[in-house]
Structures are given as structure tokens and as C-alpha cells.
Structure 1
Amino acid sequence: MNIRVRGISYHFVIHQDKEQLPALVLLHGFMGSFQSFDHLIPELRSFCNPITIDLLGHGKSEGAELHYRFSTKEQVADLSKLISEQLHIPLYLYGYSMGGRLALQLALHQPHLFRGLILESSTFGIEDETERQARQSLDARRSDDLTGNFKGFLESWQKMPLFASSTAEKELLKRNKEIQQHQNPFWLANSLQGFGTGTMPCARDRLGELKVPVHLIAGEKDSKFVHINRTMEKEIADAKLHSIKEAGHRVHLDQPEAVISVMEKALAV
């Protein structure tokens, strides 16, 4: 369904609503959509009520003309309002990559909405100011590429070393590319500039504020994010890292059964 939230039309799907089961909201990554999790939904229904949301400027949700509207503050305000007014709270929250960064910010700013947190291939942000500036410059160049040559950008993005270790089935990779191809390049460019890793506030010094159980997922082949998540595991009071074998950055595509298993453990009450 679609609903207007603070002037923006957001698309979300409640895949099931059984009173006896906990709710799990899933947030996709950059260039993804609610369809990114279609292959997980059938099994998720056995132990939870899955809810998928198209993030700002992605899928069937509207974007905005100015990139400041994609900032952490604005997106947290949007999703807090949507979740608190449309769903049964408190609930569980999962996020992949960009969606994981947003999920972390949501849990820090609105802890009363959540019972637990699952973060896949995510990060708390960039601490070093020089690195932050460099990442902002990189995302600005990527934004220009997005609007100037979207097809070329997609080809370059899909060849990034970050995704080179993927072990996903061909059909899942094909579907992932199709989802990316149907995005709005202008809104994606604004998303990169407004909510890129170099732009969002670094949350490392706030990790100790998390009081809910946190399950961290990282692909064993994704060494950068394994390292980041080991740091997060140490600094979050109730955190457990799941390093998934035969998986790269997109663990939910490479090893979907392993991700579902972690989700089921996280939601067990």
C-alpha cells in the first residue's frame, strides 16, 4: 500500500498479520526495493509477520528534489512516523547495508519502537574526518555518473569488488539487476548525497546506548565488514556477530537460508 508521510508517498507491504507472531520490518540497501526480499518472505511467514518498506527515492516510494530531504534526520522522522502510526509496536527491525545504517539510526533515535535489531553488512559510519570528506567527494562523483549515464553507472556498480565474491544463484542476481534498472537515477543521486556513508552522522560513540538485542550479519568473504561488525559486537552491550560462510556483502542473496536462520533466532521469544 501507499501512504503519505511528511509530504512523501511511501510504499510498504504487510505480507502477513497474524496476532500471535512478532512483526519484522525489512529495510533494503541502495538501489533496492521491497522486492529485494521476495525470496525470503515465504519462509519468514512461518515465524513472523514480515513487512517491507521502499525507502525514500527507491522502488515505489517517492523521492525528493533536494538531497537534504534524504538526510538521516529526515528519513528517521519519516520511518518513525510510518512505523508508529501504521504498525504494531514494538517490533523487530532488520536492515541490509544502507538499510542497516538507517535501521541503526532509527534504533538509536526511537528505541521505544523496537524489540530487537538485525543488521546485515552494515556500519556505524566513518569516524575519520579526512575519510568522511573523501567519501563525500566519491559519492558526489557517483551522483554525477548516475544522472549522466545511468546504464554505465549500473554496469560499474555491479562490477565493484564489494560484490565480486557473490555466491548467489543466477536467478537472484538477475532479479537484483532488474530491481536496480527500474530505479529513478535522479532520486538515487540525491540519496547518495543526502544519506551516503560520508554524510550520515557516525554513530560509534552511541553504540553503547542500544539496550535491545542486536544480531550482526556479515559474509565471511567480506573482510571489511567482518572487521567493522567485530567492532560493533564489542561496543554494543547485547550483540552477537554471525559470520556467514560462502557469502560476500549481499548475504541475503548469497546464503538466504543462513540469514533466515539468524532472523528466526533473533525473534525467538
Structure 2
Amino acid sequence: MLYRHTFKRKRQNRHVVDAFHGFFGSGSDFQELQEHCNFDLRAWDLLGFGNSLIPDEGSLYSLDHQLDLIDFEDRPHLLGYSMGGRLALQWAVQNPDRIQSLVLIGAHPGIKEGEAKKARREWDMEWSRYFATNSIEACWQAWSELPLIKDQCSTSNIQQRLQTRLSQDPRSLSWSMRYFGSGCMTDCWKELSALKVPVLLIAGERDLKYIELNRQMAIYLPQVEILIQSGAGHAPHFEQPESVGRALSRWYQRF
């Protein structure tokens, strides 16, 4: 089963938003963002991360299996970052009539088949092998050197997230990368047009790759807005939590 953190306070907005974290993280990553929002967050630990189970069977980390573990009481508002954004998007396109809204931070519909997909699969496998044979400290040190990750490691609020990263199990990192990485996910570009609900796409101003991906996605999405967050890279909700929190609070006021 998947563990859920509920960050609940007396808020002006009655909505509860289901949030999904990125690789190496957990639902607790959203706690600081919650401090700047006027709605409640229910943040999930994906399989193998945080307080969720760590299966010994790698194939259980697959997208399809994790989607089977997710259940909502009502039509949800979904928010996902990076890896968690890919999962939220896949759930949304598979259940377009069961969702109220979708917010994606640094996430995309997947890589289309071809050389880029093959190269990403090889990249995923290299990391999977590295995680399987190194300590958690070495794993985080190597991962934190990636250009997409560096920005979020220099923020003043890194200490709480660092504790989460160093508490992960390298086995779950390895299996997640092997069975849940971008290289093995089926892309859902063609399914975007069926998603009729409001969608907000967020990218940091220094995250040029995802700014362009968001513009490409917006072509297919019927109800879409794009937010380019100043002073941020790949993880705006870590790097500029107050600004992103205000933007999200305005976004959810419409519902």
C-alpha cells in the first residue's frame, strides 16, 4: 500500500489536493509548500519511498501496478512533480472523467519511441545498476550533481529534504529507475486532447527543457495555463515555495 501524508490546517479553500513527489523524495517534500497554500494537501509516498512498502519484486514498481494502488474518494485535484507528475498525468489520461484538475511541475507525457527513448532507457539502466551497488550517501551525492537537481540543493530549506533523501533504500531507487523510469514508460502525447479539465503546467525560468515541453503540451490540452516561475530551476516548489504556493492558491480558487 501507499502511505499518505495529510497536511491539514484551517484554510480558506475547502479543496484537498492529492500530490505526488519526485524521484528520491517522499510526500513530506510538500510540507513547506503547504505553509504557503490556502488549501489542504494529501501527499502520497510512491512505492519504495518514504513510509510506503519496499517490495522485493522489482516489477511491482511499474507504472501500471502503482496506478492500481491509487484510489480516490471523489474526483481528485492532482498535483505532481517530475516522476510524480508523470504518474499523475497517466492517471488523468486514463480516467479523464474522474478528475477535476491537474497541475504538473517539471513533468511531461513521456518520450516517443525512437533513439531518444532508447538512449533514456540505457541511462535509466546505468543509474539502476549504480543505485544497486552503492551506499545511499554515494547515491545521493551522485544524483545531486545532475544539472536538473543542483538548483534545489542550494536552497536554504534543503536540510529537511536531505534527511528524506538519505533515509531512502538504494534497492528501491534501483528498482524504481529500472521499472518506473521515463525510458520504460509508454508516452501519452496522443491522449492529452481527451483531458478536458483545467491543467496548469509549471516550470522554473532556468528549466528551459521543461518550458519548451510545456509549450508543446499546451498545443494538445483544451484548457491549459502555463506558469514560468522566476528564480527557479526544475523544482520551483522547493526553490520558490512562497511564490508557487500563492500561485496555486489562486489557481484552486476557481473550483
TM-score (norm 2): 0.93
Partner of 1:56: 47
Q: Report the AA paired with residue 152 of structure 1.
A: A
Partner of 1:15: 7
Distance across 2 between alignment mates of 1:168 and 1:256 = 14
Equivalent in 159, 162, 177 of residue 192 of structure 1 = 177
User: Secondary structure at 1:127's aligned position in 2?
Assistant: coil
113-122 or 34-43: bigger deviation: 34-43
Q: Deviations over 1:13-33 (max 9, x none)?
A: 233387971110111000111
Partner of 1:244: 229
Asked if structure 1 preserves the Cα contact closer than 8 Å seen for 2:111 and 2:117, the reply is: yes
How far did 1:109 drift?
1.1
Runs of 4+ in structure 1 displaced over 6 angstroms? 17-20
Q: Report the AA paired with residue 66 of structure 2.
A: Q
The answer on 1:74 being equivalent to 2:60 is no
Distance across 2 between alignment mates of 1:33 and 1:167 = 16
User: Secondary structure at 2:97's aligned position in 1?
Assistant: helix
Runs of at least 5 residues in structure 2 that lack an aligned partner in the other structure: none
Distance across 2 between alignment mates of 1:168 and 1:236 = 34
Partner of 1:6: none
How far did 1:242 drift?
0.4
The answer on 1:152 being equivalent to 2:145 is no
Q: Report the AA paired with residue 236 of structure 1.
A: L
The answer on 1:162 being equivalent to 2:148 is yes
How far did 1:10 drift?
1.9
User: Secondary structure at 1:10's aligned position in 2?
Assistant: coil
User: Secondary structure at 2:197's aligned position in 1?
Assistant: coil
TM-score (norm 1): 0.88
Partner of 1:5: none
Distance across 2 between alignment mates of 1:140 and 1:147 = 11
Partner of 1:37: 30
How far did 1:263 drift?
1.5
Distance across 2 between alignment mates of 1:153 and 1:161 = 15
User: Secondary structure at 2:88's aligned position in 1?
Assistant: helix
Runs of at least 5 residues in structure 1 that lack an aligned partner in the other structure: 1-8
How far did 1:65 drift?
2.0
User: Secondary structure at 2:200's aligned position in 1?
Assistant: strand
Q: Deviations over 1:61-102 (max 9, x none)?
A: 0122222212221111111x3x2xxx3x11211000000000
Distance 1:173 1:17, change over 3 A: closer
